[in-house]
Structure 1
Amino acid sequence: MSKVNVLVVDDAPFIRDLVRKCLRNAFPGMTIDDAVNGRKAMAMLGKEAFDLVLCDWEMPEMSGLELLTWCRQQPELKNLQFIMVTSRGDKENVIQAIQAGVSDFVGKPFTNEQLLTKVKKALTRIGKLDSLMASGQARVNSAFANDSLNALTAGKPEAVKVAAPAPAPAPARPVANAPRPAISAPTGRGQGQLRLAGGMQPCVIKALSLKEALLVVRRGEALPQVLEGAVLDLEQGENAEVARLNGYLHAVAALEPKPDSDWLQLTFKFVDQDAQKLDYLSRLIARGTAQKHFTPGA
């Protein structure tokens, strides 16, 4: 079997670790390396041959789009399979990446099976999937199911089957006498949109720091899972600044002291290391503190 080399590029260690584990569980014979940003990845691509790159878009020093553009300018890398892993799903961003020569997209948040579907398609295009599967080195069932990769491409899962997610841990101690917030469309300060694998969900920000946010969401049919990956979209301020913050659910608790609570309190941990996003959060915390829209220091 021909060797398959994959490079995972993301400035968030949490995401890199989860992607590596997902791929290793599905393809034990695959060689997987990682880089913290586009510049590090560029140096690695110049020294070693890779079949596939899974790359975040927003990173310090060199973005995923800049890395993709550089790759397509190198004659030896023009056929490299390059999958962009991003929360930038806007039409203009998609067109920009397509024009730069992207092979495929994985939208954050994504699931294990969705990520594997994209990887299998990429390996099929370069003629390496059949030999990988025939050798018995690819596992159909993944044991690594209940993680924040329960949140990564678009599209329905195909041939890959993964283990059912583990039951959610027992809720943390509920907040006594908590108010029942009325969540409407997230247009005002202190509100946002939480993107989970199951879809978009309005949320209220109760507290915010540079490391995490305390959110309140309406309970749905499917409960959010601890360690589930997600993207928090925030539109704040007079200029309607928008930030897409990548992270995962660190804790899920009932907001009301009863098992059928209509509201859930979520602790959302940020994984981005991008200086621009940290600056945005700092300004957002200062603005929200002045206006008393949320409590800093979550």
Structure 2
Amino acid sequence: MSKVSVLVVDDATFIRDLVKKGLRDNFPGIQIEEAINGRKAQQLLMRQPADLILCDWEMPEMSGLELLSWCREQDNLKTTPFIMVTSRGDKENVVQAIQAGVSDYIGKPFSNDQLVTKVKKALHRSGKLAQLTAAAAPKMLSSGAFANDSLAALTGGKAEVIKPSAPAAAARPAHAPAPTSEKSAAAANPGSGRGQGQLRLPGGAMACVIKALSLKEALLVVKRGELVPQVLESAVLDLEQGEASETARLNGYLHAVAAFEPKPDAEWLQLTFKFVDRDPQKLDYLSRLIARGTAQKHFSPGA
């Protein structure tokens, strides 16, 4: 019996690793291939078709929509389940993907449960879920099957550690006292910053203030509520700037969560949000925002 194969396509290592971990944890025996963009995925599919394709939309060289259109033109890929995994959830984008022949949609950021539900649905429709279950049954994995999972694996080993705006902020828990410079800024006006945006997490969305911005990360301030951001949680940062109200959706994860105020019930939280996109258009947008003065400078002690 041949293995059930899934092709994961995304230019962000962190997202690919997140998807792969979710698949391996919930579908023992599944065969996973990966590609960094649509062009690489196309080359892989020409050699060996997949049973399911999980694909990002915005990627360099060939986008997810272009890959989808190409797949639907191939005799052996016309009916292959194709799930778009993207932060493009606007109605016009959804309609565009449906017209191109998409099978389903997963919005970024996504929870593990959302990923598993969509994959099960797609595999069930194609008749592959029963095959996968039957193949995995005789090979029940031991409790230590995923012992090698680690922070390095989850982030693809590429999450750079930089100097945050306060020493050891990445390691400081949310209830720890914030340095004097941060306390003063927060006490004076916690909401002041270089711009505003919306941070979308698997559990919901929250408004945020962009305190600093670089091509690799953003320093955000959010008001603490029922939704408390977690370190290593995947997220999408929506930025809207300029007279034309340009909007960029930047994929990433929370590298650090710290408190502005020296008390356990701190009202304001400071987040370091690492970008994982490598899409030239998004990098160009960030460059223009920085040049425009939305973000005054890169992170440095006392910024």
Mapped to 2, the partners of 1:169 and 1:121 lie a distance apart of: 40
1:232 counterpart = 2:233? no
Q: How does 1:78-93 map to 2 (within 5 A)?
A: 78-93=78-93
CA contact (8 A) 2:186 2:268 kept: no
Letter in 2 for 1:179: A
Q: Is structure 2 residue 122 aligned with structure 1 residue 115?
A: no
1:192 aligns to 2:197 (yes or no): yes
Say whether the 8 Å CA contact 1:183–1:202 is kept in structure 2.
no
- Give the letter aligned to residue 272 of structure 2: T
Would you say the 8 A contact 1:2–1:128 is kept in 2? no
Question: Structure 1 CA distance, aligned partners of 2:285 and 2:29?
Answer: 41
On the 8 A contact 2:3/2:30 being kept in 1, the answer is yes
Following TM superposition, by how much is the alpha carbon of 1:295 offset from its aligned partner in structure 2, in angstroms? 3.1
Give the residue type in structure 2 aligned to 1:127. G
Query: Aligned residue for 1:170?
Result: 173
Indicate the residue corresponding to 1:130 in structure 2. 130
- Residues of 2 paired with 1:120 and 1:138: CA distance? 19
RMSD: 2.5
8 Å CA contact 1:229–1:247 kept in 2: the answer is yes
Farther-moved stretch of structure 1 (172-181 vs 7-16): 172-181
- 1:30 paired with 2:23, answer no
- Contact residue 219 and residue 263 of structure 1 kept, 8 A: yes
Quick check: 2:194–2:212 contact (8 Å CA) kept in 1?
no
TM-score (norm 1): 0.84
Separation in 1, partners of 2:264, 2:177: 11
Identity %: 68
SS at match of 2:76: helix
Alpha carbons 1:68, 1:100 under 8 Å: kept: yes
2:272 and 2:17 map into 1 onto residues whose CA distance is 21
For residues 22-171 of structure 1, the aligned pairs below 5 Å read 22-134=22-134, 135-136=136-137, 170-171=173-174
Kindly provide the amino acid, as one letter, of the partner of residue 62 in structure 2: M
1:133-182 Cα offsets, whole Å, 9 max, x none, are: 2442588x99789979xxxxxxxxxxxxxxxxxxx983365243232446
1:113 Cα offset (Å): 1.1
Deviation of 1:46 after TM superposition, in Å, equals: 0.6
CA contact (8 A) 1:217 1:264 kept: yes
TM (norm. structure 2) is: 0.83
Hey, what's the Cα distance between the residues in 1 that align with 2:9 and 2:140? 22
Q: Take 1:93 and 1:145, find their aligned partners in 2: how far apart are those partners?
A: 35
Which residue identity lines up with residue 15 of structure 1 in the other structure? I
Q: 1:132: Cα distance to partner?
A: 2.0
Distance 1:25 1:257, change over 3 A: same
Measure, in 1, the Cα distance between the counterparts of 2:233 and 2:241.
25
One-letter amino acid of the structure 1 residue matched with residue 186 of structure 2: P
Deviation per residue, 1:188-213 (Å, 9 max, x gap): 96110110112111100001100000
Distance 2:24 2:140 in 1: 9
Q: Does the C-alpha gap of structure 1 residues 246 and 83 become closer, same or farther in structure 2, counting only changes over 3 Å?
A: same
* Aligned counterpart, 1:273: 278
Q: 2:298 matched to which residue of 1?
A: 297
Change (3 A) 1:204 1:44: same
Partner of 1:241: 246
Aligned equivalent of 1:250, options 255, 276, 279: 255
Picking from 222, 238, 242, the partner of 1:217 is: 222
Looking at structure 2, the residues matched to 208 and 239 of structure 1 have their Cα atoms a distance apart, in angstroms, of: 20
Residues 215-244 of structure 1, C-alpha deviation per residue, up to 9 Å, x if partnerless? Answer: 000001232110000000000112211100
Deviations 1:44-72 (A, max 9, x none): 11110210000000000100000000000
Taking the aligned partners of 1:2 and 1:25, their CA distance within structure 2 comes to: 20
- Change in 2 beyond 3 A, CA 1:123/1:46: same
Residue matched to 1:152? none
Instruction: Write the distance in 1 (CA, Å) between the matches of 2:54 and 2:140.
Output: 19
Cα distance in 1 between the residues matched to 2:16 and 2:229: 22
- 2:296 partner amino acid: T
